[in-house]
Amino acid sequence: MKKLVVIGAGMATGRALEHLFDADPDAYEVTLFNAEPRGNYNRIMLSPVLSGEKTYEEIVTHGDDWYAQHGVTCRFGEKIAKVDLDRKVVVAENGDEVAFDKLLFGTGSNPFIIPLPGHDLKGVIAYRDLEDTYAMMDAAGTPGAKAVVIGGGLLGLEAAAGLRMRGMDVTVVHLMGHLMDRQLDEAAGYLLRKALTDRGIHIRCSTNSKEIRGEDGQVKALVLDDGSELPCDLLVMAVGIRPNVALAKDSGLAVGKAIHVDDQMVTSHPDVLAVGECVEHNGAIFGLVAPLYDQAKVVAKTLLGEDATFVQKEVSTKLKVTGCDLFSAGDFAEGEGREDIVFRDPARGVYKRLVIEGNTLVGAVMYGDTADGNWFFGLIKDRTDIAEMRETLIFGPAFQGGAHVDPMAAVAALPADAEICGCNGVCKGDIVAAIEAGATDLGAIRASTKASASCGTCTGLVEQVLSSTLGDDFVLPAAQSVCGCTDLSHEDVRVLIKTKELKSQPAVWQELGWKSRDGCHVCRPAINFYLLADWPLEYQDDPQSRFINERKHANIQKDGTYSVVPRMWGGMTTPDELRAIADAAEKYDVPTVHVTGGQRIDLLGVKGEDLPAIWADLNKAGLVSGHAYSKGLRTVKTCVGKEHCRFGTQDSTGLGIKLEKHLWGSWTPHKVKLAVSGCPRNCAEATCKDIGVVCVDSGYQIGVGGAAGMDVKETERLADVTSEEEVMEIASAFMQLYRENAKYLDRPYKWIKKVGLEWVKEQVIDDLDNRKALAERFEISQSIYRKDPWAEHAQERAETYQPIANLTLRAAE
Amino acid sequence: MTNWIDIGPLDGIAPRGARVVRTDWGCIAVFRTSDDEVFALEDSCPHKKGPLSEGIVHGKSVTCPLHNWVISLETGAAQGADQGQTGTIATRVEDGRILMDEAVLQARSAA
């Protein structure tokens, strides 16, 4: 009998031996070495062992009996020290030599450990084998123990879910922007995150680790890039695997990323084969079980001298976390000429995306309802022509002309206690009750519940509740939708972001049933604003969803150059500032210098790549961004007031500076301009501003909703007050009310026309508690946004203003 | 014939963002979509030559910052009712690096 030595008792070699013995039990005498002190078990079932759904005994695939029955000499717990290919022997650690006719490498892979400071502390482990699993189960046995998992991929999330099921407090730290970024797109990643968060797992995406802190050699906390600490008693690294090729390399086999094999699974030596995670075939390496089993079949045939060829196939992924239903298959990420079909059902938390190339399906991502996953996977593998069924493809094999997506699904899905009308505290259930008691139109709902009877922002939602409750008996008035990506209006979207607590763009797209993959140039800036206005601490501003002026903090001109306007607080400046502006204008060849209507100086014609440098120069003189490009606070124009003017009644300049320093940096639905005039002669033109203050002997007159652009409109009086402090608080509260309620791109005067000045007065003047609350929320937002974007960009993002490559330099060489 | 040249790392461009490559034949806008696909177009809108590299990227389209024309990243053609087309340049991504086909450019300038 010929002699076969196998190195590694894993899933691939186990399957190869099964095929070998099935085909010819007497062909080889087998010696099996394994570094782990046990035989083959089903490694992909470690997660159910961790979560307690299975025991180790249940996942053993080859027991002692099986090895005995097939005459396998088992040398478990023994490593191979050396392979001598010339003499065709392997040398065990204890010096024993075992001769072979054929050798099979199945050395698998090693978990990758990030070399963070402290990675060798006790309690820092990978998630790879039974020992790791037992270590995790041990750690979870201590009541109140905390775990951190680095890595939000398949393995990391299974580890996190298992630890959570055992009662640990678990945080997942993931470098990329969404979970399982290699298998899922943003929308599916969002749904997964939501499901895991619901079961009490904390998730931190876009988060980088800095070091691991310990005490007496035991892990105590993970320190993040931003300096914050996550206390933990167990730290699991699940950031990927590396093929285990050291032995093969030392033996002289050809090794690249892993051990090179041909289509017959033969390495660079004709009598040596390799299988599993340690092989590289046509440039690819393998981590999922399906291709390993295909390889195992080929190995068995090759060993028996039969013809067989390993062919790489598409793979599919499923997460083994009970209750998180996701599926991904094929290639849904890269490539040109591809089209998407997206289906979302917010009510059921379902997301499906198919990627089509020509007339074939090449990729599929599904969340929530994966019943058709294998059918799609079959279409991908077989490259089936789907031209005929394209229209209905996404509904799966069972679809026979059913209903289309209901645009009102988002409202229909709201629970009875979801608040529809924030002004009057009316829930969906109250409205439904009123309808059941006989109300059939908006007027009746307003009369009986007060819903939408105050600011009116929720009118669209109330109508949708009417429609979904009454069915065909209620004809829905057509509201203007945000854009082609959705049937919902701006008002609907704003309310739903608040009631459903949507805190990211993928959350909005999914939960509100967006029809496009990632929005468009119309909805993205609006949604970005709504999210940062409603969730200033949780949501991170997305520059890619901003118009170029707000992304580059300068105004684009028709020739592609930019204008730069530094802030002059309250219209005041100094000789030093003027000198710095003049120097910058000369240094950067600024062709046009213009004095603006907002009492500052505009440098026009600055080249895009010069922006960070000119900002850095202006910063040195203490000048910061004037936000002349933003839907946000622009200027506070002032007159010189009683300091100089013989008619001045108050310190209008001082108040203007205070207001500007308080409000600057805030984002608003449209631009906001202020002015403070020192007397009713109104030299600062305060009565045509969004907020205008006119000083009088007895105090301050505050007007709002003025305009002097496409429309010209005088402000309406909001309040008369006696102190600067009141002006400041009312201005803050008004800004916040506008930020929280107005439609994107409505200036205050347009918004006030819709909600009524009386309602605004109730909110910011009459109700003192509410005024305070609004001003406090404004301040929370300002804790993030009251800063100079120029300084930040000049220091941290200057590189992005430059071309990624300059080929003209290369040509000149 | 193609002539692939390395123009920089994929990470050099934000998802749903763009950067410019300066060449002797004018600026090329290189776009990265949310799915890490990369496309390159001449950095000039067929309408009034607006810099497409500064537009908002959505799906496989970019919206010109000057007058909101929507241009297909795949074909360079204006979408919807607008008529016009911008030149495309072949790109591919290999090991996290963006490669661009320079031969097309040279041929275009020679023509």
Residues of chain B with Cβ-Cβ distance to A547 below 8 Å are 56, 65
Two structure tokens written together for A333: 């990420």
Per-residue pLDDT, A447: 80
How far apart are the C-alpha atoms of A378 and A384, rounded to whole Å? 8
Q: Is A544 on the interface with B (CB under 8 A)?
A: yes
What the block records as the tokens of A271 is 């009598």
Q: Residues A346, A406: contact at Cβ < 8 Å?
A: no
Q: Are strands A97-99 and A89-92 parallel, antiparallel or unpaired?
A: antiparallel
Element (H, E) at A433: helix A428-436
Q: Do A336 and B37 touch (CB under 8 A)?
A: yes
The CA–CA distances, whole Å, from A387 to A356, A383, A384, A585 equal 10, 12, 9, 60
The H or E element spanning position A40 is none
| Cβ pairs bridging A and B (under 8 Å) | 106
**A797: contact with B, CB 8 A cutoff:** no
Yes or no, beta carbons of A518 and B36 under 8 Å apart: no
Who's near B45: CB < 8 A, 6+ residues apart? B51, B52, B64, B66, B67, B69, B71, B84, B86
Structure tokens at B106: 């040279």
- The SS3 assignment for A791 reads helix
Q: Do residues A655 and A596 lie in contact, with contact meaning Cβ atoms separated by under 8 Å?
A: no
Regions of chain A where pLDDT drops below 70: 318-323, 332-336, 397-410, 476-479, 809-813
> What single string gives the DSSP state of each residue in A194-223?
HHHHHTT-EEE-S--EEEEEEETTEEEEEE
A807 interface with B at CB cutoff 8 Å? yes
Q: What is the pLDDT of residues A454-509, one digit of tens each?
A: 777 788 888 888 888 887 777 766 667 898 899 899 988 999 999 889 999 999 99
Write the CB contacts of A536 (distance below 8 Å, at least 6 apart in sequence). Answer: A780, A781, A783, A784, A785
* Sole residue written with tokens 């072949």: B90
* Location of each CATH 3.30.413.10 domain in chain A: 632-787
**Using CB atoms, which residue from B17, B36, B65 is nearest to A333?**
B36
Instruction: Say yes or no for a CB contact (<8 Å) between A558 and B20.
Output: no
Is A5 in contact with A91 (CB distance < 8 Å)? no
- Residue A41 contacts B, CB cutoff 8 Å: no
Contact predicate A214/A533, CB 8 Å: no
Q: Which residues of A402-437 are buried (b: 16+ CB within 10 A; e: fewer)?
A: eeeebbbbbbbbbeeebbbbbbbebbbebbbebbee
Do the Cβ atoms of B59 and A520 come within 8 Å? yes
Domain covering A2-109+243-303, topology:
FAD/NAD(P)-binding domain (3.50.50)
Q: Does B63 touch chain A (CB under 8 A)?
A: yes
| Helix orientation angle between A154-165 and A130-140, rounded to the nearest 10 degrees | 40
Cβ–Cβ contact B97 with A under 8 A: no
In the chain, the amino acid numbered A450 is K
- The pLDDT value given to residue A409: 66
Q: Does any CB of chain B come closer than 8 Å to the CB of residue A543?
A: yes
Comparing alpha-carbon positions, the chain B residue that sits nearest to A548 is B54
- Whether residue B5 and residue A806 make contact (CB cut-off 8 A), yes or no, is no
Q: Are A127 and A236 in contact (CB under 8 A)?
A: yes
Residues for chain B: how many in total?
A: 111
pLDDT per residue over A563-593, tens digit each?
Answer: 999 999 999 999 999 999 999 999 999 999 9
Query: Looking at beta carbons, which residues of chain B come within 8 Å of A546?
Result: 56
The Cβ of residue A76 has, within 10 Å, a number of other Cβ atoms equal to: 15
Tell me whether residues A520 and B24 touch, CB distance under 8 A.
no
Backbone angles phi, psi at A3, to 5 degrees: -105, 130
Q: Is B35 on the interface with A (CB under 8 A)?
A: yes
* ipTM of the complex model: 0.91
The CATH superfamily of A632-787 is Sulfite Reductase Hemoprotein, domain 1 (3.30.413.10)
Supply the CATH classification number for the domain A124-239: 3.50.50.60
Whether A333 and B35 lie within 8 Å, measured CB to CB: yes
Indicate yes or no: CB of B35 within 8 angstroms of CB of A332: yes
Which of B28, B34, B109 should be substituted to probe chain A, the one whose Cβ sees the most A Cβ atoms within 10 Å? Answer: B34
Residue B86 contacts by C-beta under 8 Å, 6 or more apart in sequence?
B41, B42, B44, B45, B46, B52, B71, B76, B77
Of A521, A552, A804, the CB nearest to B20: A804
Q: Which residues of B fall within a CB distance of 8 Å from A560?
A: 50-51, 54
Protein fold of B4-110? Rieske Iron-sulfur Protein (2.102.10)
Q: Among B8, B39, B58, select the one facing A805 at the smallest CB separation.
A: B8
What is the value of pTM for the model shown? 0.66
Supply the pLDDT for residue B66: 87
Q: How far apart are CA A164 and CA A201, in angstroms?
A: 7
So what CATH class is A408-476?
mainly alpha
Q: Where are the domains of chain B?
A: 4-110
Nearest to B66 among A517, A519, A558 (CB): A558
Name chain A contacts of B24, Cβ cutoff 8 Å: 807-808, 811
The length of chain A is 813
Calculate how close chain A gets to B44, using CA atoms only, in Å. 10
Q: What is the 3-state secondary structure (H, E, C) of A459-527?
A: HHHHHHHHHHHHHHHCCCCCCCCCECCECCCHHHHHHHHHHCCCCCHHHHHHHCCCCCCCCCCCHHHHH
Residues of chain A with CATH 3.50.50.60: 2-109+243-303, 124-239
HEC profile of chain B: CCCEEEEEEHHHCCCCEEEEEEECCEEEEEEECCCCCEEEEECCCCCCCCCHHHCEEECCEEECCCCCCEEECCCCEECCCCCCECCEECEEEECCEEEEEHHHHHHHHHC
The answer to whether residue B39 neighbours chain A at the CB level (below 8 Å) is: yes
Q: How far is CA A521 from CA A77, A354, A382, A518, in A?
A: 61, 23, 37, 10
Residue of B nearest to A506 (CA): B34
A806 CB within 8 Å of a chain B CB:
yes
